[in-house]
Chains A and B, each alone.
Chain A
Amino acid sequence: MALAAVIWVLTIAICYVFFGHYWWFPPPISQHGQDYDAQFNATLWVTGIIFFLAQFALGWVIFTYRDRGRPARYTHGNNMLEALWTTATALLFIGLMLTGSRIWAAVHFDGPPPDSMRIEVLSKQFAWSFRYAGPDGKFGRTDIKLINDQGGNPFGIDDKDPAGKDDITSASIKVPAGKPILLILKSRDVIHNFFVRELRLKQDLVPGMEIPFPFTADQTGTYEVACSELCGLGHHQMRTTLEVMTEADFNKWKLEQAAQK
């Protein structure tokens, strides 16, 4: 009997904290982020109701059907009920998946807008590097033999290639607000993961692959980027920032970087 009470108290406490938003998402900074939160909330409501009802029912049968001397009901089940709850859960679960699939499609199927700004992302144990094409709009050739982290060339950009002369590299990522971005994700050693909470996005960087990953950030600000795939002893330190700037600030930053080269 005490068990029923314990289950109810735990259930109410859990629901209370979930709906009180004590530890929660940071506010979204993109349309995708808002769509994400809507899908999350829909799922939270559906699962929250199922969770509450299932735990409440469990507590209720434990409380009501404790041994009070009356005989147990001799029944082997009810096919109508089986059919009913099978259909109901199937519709509910698949339905949630389908409503969410629009969000996944927007990230992965729709393809980036043609005017997207391309930024190369290179991860290594335990640092991030970002590369922007210069005014020519082209990335220069790279060669792993030319990689020189101390010399400021983590990508191994080949100086002999004119397209690479104006490339800008940076240890943190800056993007103009409202502009579609297409990241080209690459890794040099092991698998890493690019995760920005405020964007509600993450994607692995896999050695041997170039993974395109689009996003658009609307809110200016500085946001933390956390590696989210175990990459070795410095995994917990593999941090950089995403700075979303106004278009003017971004252009100014790019000019400054070009001047320093």
Chain B
Amino acid sequence: MSSSIVHAAHQAPTGFIRRYIFSLDHKVIGIQYYFLALFSVFLGMGLSVLMRYHMVYPDAKVSWFEKLWPTGAAGGIMTPELYLSLMTMHGTIMVFFVLTTAPQSGFGNYFLPIQIGAEDMAFPVLNMLSFWTTFLALCVMVAAFFVPGGAPLAGWTVYPPLSAVGPLAGPGEGLGQSLWIISIAIFSGASLMGAINFIATTIDLRAKGMTMMRLPLTCWAWLVTAILGLLGFAVLLAAGILLLLDRMAETSFFIPAGLVVSDQILNHKGGSPLLWQHLFWFFGHPEVYIAILPGMGVASQLLSTFARKPVFGYRAMVYAILSIGFLGFFVWGHHMFMSGMSPYSAMAFATLTMAIGVPSAIKTFNWIGTLWGGRIRFTSAMMFAMGFVSLFVTGGISGIFLGQPALDLYFHDTYFVVGHFHMIMGVAAIFGMFAGTFYWFPKVTGRLMNETLGKIHFYLTFIGVYCIFTPMHWLGIAGNPRRYADFTNFDFMGKLMPVHTFMTWAAIITASAQLIFLFNLFWSMKKGAVATDNPWDATTLEWGIPSPPPFDNFAGHHPVVNHGPYEYGVPGGAKDYLMQSDPP
């Protein structure tokens, strides 16, 4: 294709709407995704604080609860069904609209094309569509709060029959649950569009000299994440449609015969509740890696940059990402050890689950190897990257318990599981996003974020998340089941209340500390110190162009890549690094 055609199709638009709203520019779309996720993460975090408060003070009267939820919190006292709908929406919003959206669609959209030396994504119109479809999905999801019966209470995993038989099974299981499924189906469509775009872009639009083995690890992570998304969301979309049909068209994909719900005999026949679990987790487990892989990429990039050392074992890191992506599709059954599926298949899933721990361990060793012998610069971005490694280790270790079917006989659906996945796919992934934000902020805005505020925010958050999520493992060891609105009905849970109270207050303090980040983000946009084009002395292509980058990234110039992505600490030169586009 001649480059003149590309340019003709790709002039900077002048109108406000085409520039900032329905933009085709991957950078604007990346920022749109980022702010969608930022809104969602504060919403999801707010819900979690309300949940934690209710678990510890179930009888507390809070007048504004009643204003927000006149039926769910009549008299200001939160009902168990409201608690469960907050829990469902917390999980859903965090998993889909934060962990899937920001690391991949946000950062990936902005930086994948620049890091590989492209002018834009392969399909800019598809890119715009995928953002606005995601936006629609979020609107539908939030609307579930405001319909009669309120938001659904079946959890983010929406296991049928609870999710399939309508309001008989509980409040929120009417229109709220239907909106939930529709939103997720729309979101799946958006993710499919995004995934195709990421894959095509990485394969086709790399600059001259940007071989696969010269790709920054961030790009490898975004590529493999996109492949996971393509295969995973396709299945979730299909499963969602089947569930919707069960609810609305009297089909029986997931509903067996002989159900008596709320004293009513149902007419369904022949469905299997386990089928949903297989389909859901076939998506759901790769989803965990969709959330964490981009964070692993960012951590690798930042540890190398700020330790002034090449990534230790770059090839091993690439192979580890690929094997995590591949094995990620064969371990979904470890969510179902207690589900009633064949106990023999549990052995296969367990072996593969233990196997997927190996590439994760390789990555950890290589991160520590990257720091070893380095010359570490303690920027806020680097603090979050190192915090990521610590949280990744802590969150990964508990997986060695849960991956064993024998030990899962006790830990399944206890707080041990909640602690495990919050550590690794929740906060470790979010630390990846914080790290990415501090690192790339100067490229996007031309200004630096405030380092003092950044470090205060880092320490409060790092210690805070350990205080919230480590005690969950102890609760799990004591047998505390998850998804309980309160703990007043069981004798053995009484002894655990001090732990719950500690976690609740840790959550309130840590959540408040996020306002420091929010302030830093917006304040620095206007008032931050002006950044040079390459404030971190970094090597990848985005640091060779102005900040903020011009409309087509390289201003009509086509970069040529001559070096690997992490040439730091190179002896003998005037500077200690070689940019990828430096002459050979």
Question: Which residues of A are in contact with B by a Cβ distance under 8 Å?
Answer: 1-3, 6-7, 10, 14, 17-18, 22-26, 36, 39-40, 43, 46-47, 50-51, 54-55, 57-58, 61-62, 65-68, 70-79, 81-82, 85-86, 89-90, 93-94, 96-97, 100-104, 107-109, 124-125, 144-145, 147, 149, 188-191, 193, 195, 197, 200-204, 206-209, 211, 224, 226-237, 239
Contact = CB atoms under 8 A, between A and B. Distances in A.
A65 B377 CA distance: 9
B343 A100 contact: no
A202 B409 contact: yes
Contacts of A190: 159, 161-162, 165, 169, 261
Contacts of B479: 25-26, 195, 197, 226
Contacts of A237: 80, 489
Given A46-B400, A145-B265, A101 B406 contact: yes
A3 B386 contact: yes
Given A76-B310, A236-B487, A208 B258 contact: yes
Contacts of A23: 474-475, 477-478, 495-496, 499
B459 A202 contact: no
B432 to A, nearest CB: 16
Contact of B466 (A10, A86, A193, A226): A10
Contact of A39 (B153, B165, B354, B406): B406
Interface string B94-124: 0000000000000000000000000000000
A58 B314 contact: no
Interface residues of B, number: 115
Contact of A77 (B312, B475, B489): B312
A71 B375 contact: yes
A75 B568 contact: no
B35 interface: no
Going nearest first, the 3 A-B pairs with the smallest beta carbon separation are: A208-B256, A73-B373, A108-B343
Given A25-B479, A201-B409, A232-B170, 5 more contacts: A61-B371, A72-B568, A77-B366, A101-B350, A209-B256
B187 to A, nearest CB: 22
A49 B373 CA distance: 24
Interface stretch (B19-27, B133-141, B390-398): B390-398
Contacts of A67: 375-378
Contacts of B154: 230
Contacts of A211: 340
Given A65-B373, A74-B570, A77-B312, A97 B260 contact: no
Interface stretch (B228-236, B240-248, B269-277): B269-277
Contact of A232 (B169, B369, B412): B169
Contact of A228 (B308, B405, B414, B485): B414
B261 A206 contact: no
A207 B258 contact: yes
A73 B373 CA distance: 5
Given A96-B354, A189-B161, A40 B407 contact: yes
Contacts of A100: 404-407
A58 B159 contact: no
Contacts of B377: 67
B369 A81 contact: yes
Nearest to A205: B340
10 contacts: A6-B462, A46-B400, A47-B401, A61-B368, A76-B314, A77-B316, A78-B369, A102-B406, A124-B260, A230-B155
A60 to B, nearest CB: 9
Given A6-B463, A93-B357, A228 B309 contact: no
B404 A97 contact: yes
B81 interface: yes
A107 B65 CA distance: 46
B339 interface: yes
